[in-house]
Copies of this chain bind each other. A is one copy, B any other.
Amino acid sequence: MSKRILVLQGDGIGPEIMAEAVKVLNLANEKYELGFELSSGELGGASYDKYGVPLADETLERARQADAVLLGAVGGPKWDGIDPALRPERGLLKIRSELGLFGNLRPAILYPQLAESSTLKPEVVSGLDILIVRELTGGIYFGQPREKRVLANGERQAYDTLPYSESEIRRIAKVGFDMAMVRNKKLCSVDKANVLASSQLWREVVEEVAKDYPEVELSHMYVDNCAMQLVRAPKQFDVIVTDNMFGDILSDQASMLTGSIGMLPSASLDVNGKGMYEPCHGSAPDIAGKGVANPLATILSVSMMLRYSFAQAEAADAIEQAVSLVLDQGLRTGDIYSEGCRQVGTAEMGDAVAEAL
């Protein structure tokens, strides 16, 4: 039975980096006889330009039918002036929500070959390997009511709502514990339970789920303290589980600790393990079309897809090893360049990985 993969290039550097990822994916498809069928669609600004909306119904329907979605990146100044409800990001939020992709896995790994790229001292980050598990379809991102209005006194006011239900917290907590079980059995749940009602429930439910995972060492940390600890001593963490907004902030902070955000993939999974895979970095409109963007995060997103949605560990490992080999060879795109290495463009980097594979 063939497996369907929907490829959404997105905006900015999306098309360039996706071309390289697809190159690698096609090769793996042949070599390991994976039986993948690829098709492509639009998301974000590209979709707005074609359909007038950042996610068209037919694209969404095709994403539902697919076994996995591979995404480049969305957004750019080109769409800054349009109706906020139609901005590229809304397409991303909608596809996450409509497909029920509640479990967002964001690894922050320091590649030994790139140790120099971090702004942190080597002893603080060498060997860093954290996984942030972010709740992706609930909380303040989607909470209702939310509104901008004019108060009785004539003042403008706006508000958002941050809701979490027991079942939403339980299922993301389970992902956190499951990930901890296959890693170093340490889970840190991050909240703001000293201030927020939603965080108090969060903590309660995480404690309940913990009973099913006696082997995992669970700790709780306030989000402000976590932002400090990620700077002070990031290696204290193994898996972090947190809500949508805190996860947005902390995962970006953590990825930057590695100094190589151009290297980091992510997965967003539904209850059945179906997923959307995308690089952690954005659409980098400033360098779009120049052929200099780093395609490795997208290539590693392919590897994550093979691992999580298709249980093809062998092929996934092979891609990761190919990336590592290319780094060993000293090939670097501009974002991860350091002295003594050879600077290459997007396509050359993709070719090198394909070659190594």
Contacts and interface: CB of A to CB of B under 8 A. Distances in A.
Contact of A159 (B84, B119, B163, B224): B163
A148 interface: yes
13 contacts: A119-B120, A119-B232, A121-B121, A148-B201, A151-B165, A158-B163, A158-B198, A159-B162, A225-B252, A227-B250, A227-B256, A228-B255, A231-B231
Given A119-B231, A201-B157, A231-B253, A162 B148 contact: no
Nearest to A230: B253
Contact of A164 (B158, B165, B204): B158
Contacts of A163: 157-159
Interface string A161-176: 1111111000000000
A164 B89 CA distance: 23
A344 interface: no
Interface of A: 84, 87, 89, 93, 119-121, 124, 140-141, 143, 146-148, 151, 155-167, 192, 194-198, 200-202, 204-205, 223-225, 227-228, 230-233, 245-246, 248-253, 255-257, 261
Nearest to A224: B252
Given A161-B159, A166-B155, A84 B256 contact: no
A145 to B, nearest CB: 9
The winner among A84, A119, A121 for most chain B CB atoms within 10 A is: A119
Contacts of A161: 159-162
A261 B228 contact: yes
Nearest to A255: B228
A115 to B, nearest CB: 12
Contact of A165 (B119, B143, B157, B160): B157
A159 B166 CA distance: 11
Nearest to A229: B256
A159 B198 contact: yes
**10 smallest A-B Cβ distances: which pairs?**
A158-B201, A159-B163, A227-B253, A224-B252, A231-B256, A228-B256, A157-B165, A156-B166, A158-B197, A119-B124
Contacts of A165: 151, 155-157
Nearest to A88: B194
B195 A141 contact: yes
Contacts of A93: 195
Given A119-B120, A121-B121, A124-B119, A160 B252 contact: no
A162 B245 CA distance: 13
Contact of A120 (B89, B121, B248): B121
A338 to B, nearest CB: 13
Contacts of A202: 158
Contacts of A248: 192, 223-224
Contacts of A227: 227, 249-250, 252-253, 256
Contacts of A167: 155
A162 B246 CA distance: 14
Given A166-B155, A249-B249, A197 B228 contact: no
Contacts of A261: 228
A205 B202 CA distance: 33
The winner among A166, A194, A197 for most chain B CB atoms within 10 A is: A197
A227 to B, nearest CB: 4
Given A143-B159, A166-B157, A89 B197 contact: no
